[in-house]
């Protein structure tokens, strides 16, 4: 059965960051241990109820995509057995499928987003301005419509509890320099385009995705954190896709839909989520893992 972990507890290791989902520990000056917990976030707020096994599913699908796209961009994973780095006395079964040893990189301070379809904040911006992140788009596009070609639509990296904000490419150039900004944009679009084709062969539309990048001490760029998971991407069943509506997706849509029915201002603390919504969401993650990566849960 999948394990459930709300918060990592690794005595003796240096906890350097606790994010919405991941707990990050320093192993030494060059390596990190990243643990994907089962914490559930929506609208950038961590909710009180976990989704059992979600961290295991996220880690497995990320590792699958890291392997599949290594020819396009190197990634942060290191081939180090988990047993070598876990503190004595810690149950390895709790972390075996949800923790990875990675390079310790300097994060590029931008959310690198590729969009192939007009949905979410992109659809909202298009309706208001006819553009997304300063990229002018043809008139007459509909919600969930396919774009003429994928576009790079970066956003700021928000702190826990804050909301990311779409920005123009020029803002990325100002933040990290033109050469690195161009590398991030080109890698994001290349990975998205390749992965969208892979997913399409399995009856799934990859509408958009968010990637994170980091550089090593020599300035070499790596893709890191998570990759092409249902948390960082919109996946739609191709046989249920329809222009003009927000299609059903392999993500936290059940949770978002439930939260939209509440009198909640989308700030912390988040409300409790019913068991039925948790289970339906867990099943969607499991279905995505099986259809995309061919991995069945225990």
Average pLDDT over the chain reads 94
Tens of pLDDT, residue by residue over 2-28, are: 789 999 999 999 999 999 999 999 999
- Tell me where in the chain the CATH 3.30.470.20 domain(s) lie: 107-252
Q: Where does residue 228 rank: exposed (0-12), middle (13-18), buried (19+ CB within 10 A)?
A: buried
What is the percentage of the chain residues whose pLDDT exceeds 70? 96
What CATH class does 14-104 carry? alpha beta
- Tell me where in the chain the CATH 3.30.200.20 domain(s) lie: 14-104
| CATH fold of 107-252 | D-amino Acid Aminotransferase; Chain A, domain 1 (3.30.470)
DSSP string for residues in 222-236: EEES--S-TTTEEEE
How many other β-carbons are positioned within 10 Å of the β-carbon of residue 81?
9
Q: How confident is the model at residue 251 (pLDDT cuts 50, 70, 90)?
A: confident
Residue 247 has pLDDT above 50, yes or no: yes
What number is the average pLDDT over the span 225-244? 95
Residue 230 has pLDDT above 70, yes or no: yes
What number is the average pLDDT over the span 72-92? 95
Residue 163 has pLDDT above 80, yes or no: no
Residue 160 has pLDDT above 50, yes or no: no
Residue 162 has pLDDT above 80, yes or no: no
Strand partners, 77: 102
């Amino acid at each position: 059965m999948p394990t459930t972990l709300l918060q990592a507890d690794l005595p003796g290791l240096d906890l350097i960051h606790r994010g919405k989902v991941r707990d990050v520990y320093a192993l030494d000056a060059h390596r990190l241990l990243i643990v994907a917990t089962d914490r559930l976030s929506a609208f950038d707020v961590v909710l009180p109820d976990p989704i059992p096994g979600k961290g295991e599913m996220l880690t497995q699908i990320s590792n699958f995509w890291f392997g599949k796209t290594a020819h396009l961009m190197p990634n942060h994973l290191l081939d180090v057995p988990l047993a070598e780095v876990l503190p004595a006395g810690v149950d390895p079964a709790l972390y075996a499928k949800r923790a990875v040893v990675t390079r310790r990189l300097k994060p590029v301070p931008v959310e690198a987003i590729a969009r192939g379809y007009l949905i979410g904040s992109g659809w909202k911006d298009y309706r208001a301005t006819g553009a997304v992140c300063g990229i002018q788009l043809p008139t007459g596009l509909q919600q969930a419509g396919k774009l003429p070609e994928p576009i790079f639509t970066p956003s700021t990296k928000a702190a826990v509890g804050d909301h990311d904000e779409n920005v123009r490419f020029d803002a990325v150039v100002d933040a990290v320099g033109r050469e690195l900004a161009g590398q991030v944009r080109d890698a994001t679009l290349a990975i998205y385009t390749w992965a969208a084709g892979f997913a399409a062969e399995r009856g799934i539309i990859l509408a958009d995705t968010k990637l994170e990048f980091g550089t090593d001490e020599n300035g070499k760029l790596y893709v890191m954190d998570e990759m092409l998971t249902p948390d960082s991407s919109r996946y739609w069943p191709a046989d249920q896709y329809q222009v003009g509506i927000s299609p059903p997706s392999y993500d936290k849509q059940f949770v978002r839909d439930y939260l939209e029915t509440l009198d909640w201002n989308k700030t912390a603390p988040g409300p409790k989520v019913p068991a039925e919504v948790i289970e339906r969401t867990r099943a969607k993650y499991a279905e995505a893992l099986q259809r995309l990566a061919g991995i069945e849960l225990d």
